[in-house]
Chains A and B, each alone.
Chain A
Amino acid sequence: MNTRLHKLCRQLELEPETLPAPRPADVRRRVNRALGRTGRPSRRALRTALAAAVIAALAVTSAVAVARSSLLQTFFRGDTQVLEGQVKQPYASVTDGVWTLTVEEVLADPCQALVTFSIQAHTDEAAQQLNRPGFFNMDTLVFSAGIPLSAGIGEEEERNTPTRRFYHLTLAYTQSPGPLELRLGMMEEGLTVSLAPDVDTVELDMEQAAPMLLGEECTVRHVMVSPIGMRLELELPPGQPTQSVFAQAFLLLEDGGVASPSMLTAGQGPVSTARVAEAPGDRYEVIWRFDQVLDLSRVTGIAVGDRVYSLSGGASSPWEGAEDYQTFTLPSLDIRGDGNPFFSLDELCAGLGLSYTWDPDSGTARVEGRNGPVAVSARAWEGQVLTEDLDTLRRALGVGIELSVWVTSGTEELPLTWIILP
């Protein structure tokens, strides 16, 4: 087995077995032998023990407080305590003796749902199929939940075992989609899981002008905020290009702080921007999924454009902080043709009022950030100094620097928006 330890030995020109590295499979065989189980149940034994296509609900569907939900750990960083008791843990399973599909946890707000599920193999043949490269493809899982605006599936490799693989499913939708139906392509029977919202929300109606990219404006008509995300419903003048649809609502916090969707998504863009109506103006819904859980009790108001809307009601008031939140667009360069964006350090620093020095020998640039200097990888290209190291810049340029990457596939330039906070 080509373990990393063997690689290190080869890189150091040592014998690979200088430092032996037991394979987990060999260790597992020893453990199983010692515990008295030498193999898996035969297919016949399973079919005798389980009726074909039995649907078994293994737990209640109401929210059950269980320590440290793995769904929350998968999707959110930082403190998730406020949501620990609100994750539905249905543990609904369906099995045919060869495969078992289990929905483990569900968390939903009115416009998006997070689901974790697992696929388990009960025979040697199924286990081989499970571990084959490309096992999970478009035919492996069939699911429907109304007409989602966006859907994504990811694997949770750290949880996988040789006979069970874990995945998560994310959905965003404009209306409550009804129950989620899932079925493994290899099975005849599937599961039905409720996506009813579990979490508290804050919702405001308004008719508020708000800036977008490239000097354009939209009208925000509705804001919904939950601990896991935000949805803006906005209207554009007819014919405005979709690419520039981008508006923000800022959350004003009880400690005087401000949180933007960019801040709560670590600089990632919305998970969905969809046109939902065409007349009289183009109506869009923009949905964000946070990467940290928002405690709604800390939110006192929502700022859109130059107005503040208090959660306690009443008319809106001028937002004194409006001018401090500026947006400028920094074009990115796909210099390798692989979609990986590079950014001009000159333009970046000029726009943020920073400075940098570049060392071509080491291929690094030292950017003087608000919290001190930070080193990023940098390279020369056509008379410019470019960097791709956004992760370092996001973390190190200090409180008050926000950025949102807006990636448009199929074009040479990937527009990047920086939102500067004080």
Chain B
Amino acid sequence: MQEEKLLERLRRGERAALEQAVERFTPYVSAVAARAAVGIGREDLEEVTADVFLALWKHAGEIQRGSLRPWLAAVARNRARNKLRTPPASLPLEEGAPDQRPGPEEESQRREDARRLWQAVERLEQPDREVVLRYYFYEEKTREIAGALGLNHTTVRSKLSRSRKKLRQWLTEEGMV
């Protein structure tokens, strides 16, 4: 319901509402984008996430009531997939500055680890998967999660604990841990 109020303020062009949307939905938007473009790097993910909020600022008037999250998710997925299809730009280093970017082998390993971690999360059964996504990826509070999924607070915590054990077990079996 607070999302409805936020959307109305965005429609009125309130800049503070856009800032609030960024604060509130960055974890959600970036998680959706990362899931759509597994292995995407931080810079690209940050750019995609910002693009989603720029689109929100431009198109708030077209979003139907109750559709803010689905709209954000749809735009995030599209932008993320488009980003994957775009060749990465080659950025010049400042003269004399050490190159702290990950090397190609490190980056390749990170992408593979990300892919396996996402696969492990997808193996979780519902509602455990939803609990893990909402808590770790969307950064929702346990009470929000409990309310949204019709669970009690204690159950959410125990599902998180159980899910972590399962993820660890599966990743160990794959040799990642």
Seen from chain A, the residues whose Cβ lies within 8 Å of a Cβ on chain B are 3-5, 7-9, 11-15, 17-24, 26-28, 30-31, 34-35, 37, 67-68, 70, 73, 158-164, 376-377, 389, 391-392, 395
Instruction: Name which residue of chain B comes closest to A28, CB basis.
Output: B22
Q: When the two chains form their complex, are residues A27 and B22 in contact, meaning their CB atoms are under 8 A apart?
A: yes
Stretch in B79-87, B92-100, B123-131, B164-172 with 4+ CB within 8 Å of A: B164-172
Once A22-B49, A34-B50, A73-B1 are accepted as A-B contacts, the answer to whether A161 and B40 lie under 8 Å apart by CB is no
Q: When the two chains form their complex, are residues B54 and A24 in contact, meaning their CB atoms are under 8 A apart?
A: no
Once A14-B176, A24-B23, A73-B2 are accepted as A-B contacts, the answer to whether A31 and B16 lie under 8 Å apart by CB is no
Q: When the two chains form their complex, are residues B26 and A24 in contact, meaning their CB atoms are under 8 A apart?
A: yes
Q: When the two chains form their complex, are residues B5 and A70 in contact, meaning their CB atoms are under 8 A apart?
A: yes
Report B110 CB to chain A, min CB distance, Å: 6
Instruction: Name which residue of chain B comes closest to A120, CB basis.
Output: B16
Seen from chain B, the residues whose Cβ lies within 8 Å of a Cβ on chain A are 1-2, 4-5, 8, 15-16, 18-20, 22-24, 26-27, 30-31, 34, 40-42, 45-47, 49-50, 53-54, 57, 110, 113-114, 117-118, 135-137, 139, 152-154, 164, 167-168, 171, 176-177
Report B131 CB to chain A, min CB distance, Å: 12
Q: Which residues of chain B come closer than 8 Å to A19, judged between CB atoms?
A: 34, 114, 117-118
A407 to B139, CA, bound (A): 33
Once A12-B177, A27-B53, A34-B54 are accepted as A-B contacts, the answer to whether A17 and B42 lie under 8 Å apart by CB is yes
Specify which of A7, A12, A164 is in contact with B16 (CB 8 Å cutoff).
A164
Q: Which residues of chain A come closer than 8 Å to B16, judged between CB atoms?
A: 161, 163-164
Q: Which residues of chain B come closer than 8 Å to A70, judged between CB atoms?
A: 1-2, 5
Instruction: Name which residue of chain A comes closest to B106, CB basis.
Output: A15
Q: Which residues of chain B come closer than 8 Å to A5, judged between CB atoms?
A: 27, 31, 136-137
Once A30-B50, A35-B57, A392-B154 are accepted as A-B contacts, the answer to whether A20 and B40 lie under 8 Å apart by CB is yes
A21 to B114, CA, bound (A): 12
A35 to B27, CA, bound (A): 21
Once A68-B1, A389-B154 are accepted as A-B contacts, the answer to whether A18 and B110 lie under 8 Å apart by CB is yes
Q: When the two chains form their complex, are residues A20 and B19 in contact, meaning their CB atoms are under 8 A apart?
A: no
Q: Which residues of chain A come closer than 8 Å to B41, judged between CB atoms?
A: 20
Q: When the two chains form their complex, are residues B50 and A17 in contact, meaning their CB atoms are under 8 A apart?
A: no
Q: When the two chains form their complex, are residues B23 and A15 in contact, meaning their CB atoms are under 8 A apart?
A: no
Q: When the two chains form their complex, are residues A12 and B167 in contact, meaning their CB atoms are under 8 A apart?
A: yes
Q: When the two chains form their complex, are residues A163 and B19 in contact, meaning their CB atoms are under 8 A apart?
A: yes
Q: When the two chains form their complex, are residues A27 and B168 in contact, meaning their CB atoms are under 8 A apart?
A: no
Q: A27-B26, A73-B1 are in contact. List 15 more A-B contacts (CB 8 A).
A: A4-B136, A7-B136, A13-B177, A19-B34, A20-B42, A20-B45, A27-B46, A27-B49, A31-B57, A34-B54, A70-B1, A73-B5, A158-B24, A160-B23, A391-B152
Q: Which residues of chain B come closer than 8 Å to A35, judged between CB atoms?
A: 54, 57
Q: Which residues of chain A come closer than 8 Å to B168, judged between CB atoms?
A: 11-13
A11 to B42, CA, bound (A): 20
Specify which of B20, B49, B53, B164 is in contact with A11 (CB 8 Å cutoff).
B164
Report A362 CB to chain B, min CB distance, Å: 10
Q: When the two chains form their complex, are residues B8 and A67 in contact, meaning their CB atoms are under 8 A apart?
A: yes
Q: Which residues of chain B come closer than 8 Å to A22, judged between CB atoms?
A: 26, 30, 42, 45-46, 49
A266 to B19, CA, bound (A): 34
In the assembled complex, 22 residue pairs joining A and B whose CB atoms fall closer than 8 Å, in A order, are A4-B135, A8-B164, A12-B168, A15-B113, A17-B42, A21-B27, A24-B27, A27-B30, A27-B53, A28-B22, A28-B23, A31-B22, A31-B53, A34-B54, A70-B5, A73-B5, A159-B2, A161-B23, A164-B16, A391-B153, A391-B154, A392-B152
A7 to B15, CA, bound (A): 32
Once A11-B164, A395-B152 are accepted as A-B contacts, the answer to whether A30 and B23 lie under 8 Å apart by CB is no
Q: Which residues of chain B come closer than 8 Å to A37, judged between CB atoms?
A: 15
Once A4-B139, A20-B41, A73-B2 are accepted as A-B contacts, the answer to whether A31 and B152 lie under 8 Å apart by CB is no
Q: When the two chains form their complex, are residues A30 and B136 in contact, meaning their CB atoms are under 8 A apart?
A: no
A147 to B139, CA, bound (A): 41
Q: Which residues of chain A come closer than 8 Å to B22, judged between CB atoms?
A: 24, 27-28, 31
List the 3 closest pairs (A to B, CB-CB), nearest first. A30-B50, A20-B42, A24-B26
A36 to B25, CA, bound (A): 22
Report A365 CB to chain B, min CB distance, Å: 12
Q: Which residues of chain B come closer than 8 Å to A23, judged between CB atoms?
A: 26
